[in-house]
């Protein structure tokens, strides 16, 4: 018996023949565009940028071809280029010239990110959404995302007060969005309280809610000059890549604490998490296409094994299909140019 889902095949020349030919709508580029279920535009892109203190010229990042540790001046130039391409936002990571046990340069009003934010705000006004990564690992001499106890364990609650200081410093310097990435329990609530108590109620929080302890962050650590002391890792506070239900708990907790947006990281190896979260939460959701994902595409393209720009666009489109509202990607400028931004 025929049904709508399983129509009876038409007869042609005495042989079964499909009445529904799905290839009909793939026949031409215009048809494919017309029926595309997912599209990516320049509006979906956020560019991660690095700014380094104490350098006179931009420094190439060897493990991330095409990416730089910027001076403040070159950062401003790049931000203006992104704005001209139509990219709506950037997220800033700082590399200080002085590190200590507490990461005090992270909340120093004259720290590198705060200096850079003020310069960016003066240069681009509201043309770009200025996001600032909020963490301590780039600023501590031990490379962890929080204060350490006597036994080397990262102290959750003592770290939260420092996160509040960083949030206020970044807000005062001009950040539209602060993005806590340390994966401390209660970090969103602590930051929201600090911002609201400090007169920065309008600053939004993009929470790294589902951030896995991934092997794909290596090039990023080159970019920010971070080495974890004594060969350690962050598995005691970043999520176990084997867990998905736990990610939903993290997301729910960050939303309950006041997060305005959530992030899933790394992107391509977390498509199931991204899709599940999209079905469950109504807030804007970001995916971070991380340094290792970027570097692998660049390396394979340089070897002539793949079409790099095509793979980059395919991966970013897949992230949109899985549910991301916007994507943090080192391909932002390249893809914006390709899209005609």
Tally Cβ neighbours within 10 Å of residue 247.
23
The CA R_g of the chain, rounded to the nearest whole Å, is 22
Tally Cβ neighbours within 10 Å of residue 200.
17
Structure tokens at 17: 């023949």
CA distance 264 to 273: 8
Using the 8-state DSSP alphabet, how is residue 207 labeled? E
Pairing mode of beta strands 10-12, 15-17: antiparallel
Using the 8-state DSSP alphabet, how is residue 212 labeled? B
334 CB-near residues (< 8 Å, 6+ apart): 66, 309, 312
CA distance 178 to 160: 14
Instruction: Say if residues 154 and 146 touch (Cβ distance below 8 Å).
Output: yes
Burial grade of 99 (CB within 10 A; 0-12, 13-18, 19 or more): buried
Using the 8-state DSSP alphabet, how is residue 268 labeled? G
φ, ψ of residue 185 in degrees (nearest 5): -65, 130
Catalytic option among 80, 99, 265, 320: 265
Q: Is 265 a catalytic residue?
A: yes
Structure tokens at 86: 């139509």
Instruction: Say if residues 215 and 187 touch (Cβ distance below 8 Å).
Output: no
Q: Is 99 a catalytic residue?
A: no
Catalytic option among 80, 99, 211, 320: 211
Structure tokens at 157: 């609650």
* CA nearest to 36, candidates 45, 27, 44, 26: 26
Instruction: Say if residues 322 and 275 touch (Cβ distance below 8 Å).
Output: yes
Residues noted as catalytic: 211, 265
């Amino acid at each position: 018996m025929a049904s709508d889902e399983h129509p009876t095949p038409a007869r042609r020349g005495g042989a079964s023949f499909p009445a529904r030919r799905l290839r009909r709508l793939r026949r031409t580029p215009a048809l494919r565009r017309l029926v595309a279920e997912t599209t990516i535009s320049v509006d979906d892109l956020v560019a991660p940028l690095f700014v380094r203190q104490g350098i006179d010229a931009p420094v190439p990042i060897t493990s991330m071809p095409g990416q730089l540790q910027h001076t403040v001046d070159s950062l401003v130039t790049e931000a203006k280029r992104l704005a001209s391409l139509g990219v709506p936002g950037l997220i800033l990571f700082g590399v200080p010239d002085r590190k200590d046990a507490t990461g005090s340069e992270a909340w120093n009003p004259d720290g590198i990110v705060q200096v850079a934010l003020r310069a960016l705000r003066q240069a681009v006004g509201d043309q770009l959404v200025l996001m600032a990564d909020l963490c301590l690992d780039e600023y501590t001499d031990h490379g962890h995302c929080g204060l350490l106890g006597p036994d080397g364990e990262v102290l959750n609650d003592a770290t939260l007060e420092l996160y509040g200081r960083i949030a206020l410093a970044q807000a005062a310097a001009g950040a539209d969005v602060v993005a806590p990435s340390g994966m401390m329990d209660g970090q969103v609530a602590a930051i929201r309280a600090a911002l609201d108590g400090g007169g920065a109620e309008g600053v939004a929080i993009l929470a790294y809610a589902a951030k896995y302890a991934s092997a794909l962050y290596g090039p990023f650590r080159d970019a920010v000059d971070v080495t974890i002391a004594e060969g350690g890792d962050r598995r005691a506070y970043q999520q176990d890549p084997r867990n998905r239900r736990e990610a939903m708990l993290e997301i729910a907790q960050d939303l309950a604490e006041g997060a305005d947006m959530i992030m899933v990281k790394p992107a391509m190896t977390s498509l199931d998490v991204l899709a599940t979260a999209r079905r469950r939460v109504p807030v804007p959701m970001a995916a971070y296409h991380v340094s290792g994902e970027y570097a692998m595409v660049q390396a394979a393209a340089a070897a002539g094994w793949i079409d790099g720009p095509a793979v980059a666009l395919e991966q970013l489109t897949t992230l949109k299909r899985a549910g991301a509202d916007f994507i943090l990607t080192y391909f932002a400028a390249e893809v914006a140019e390709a899209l005609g931004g």
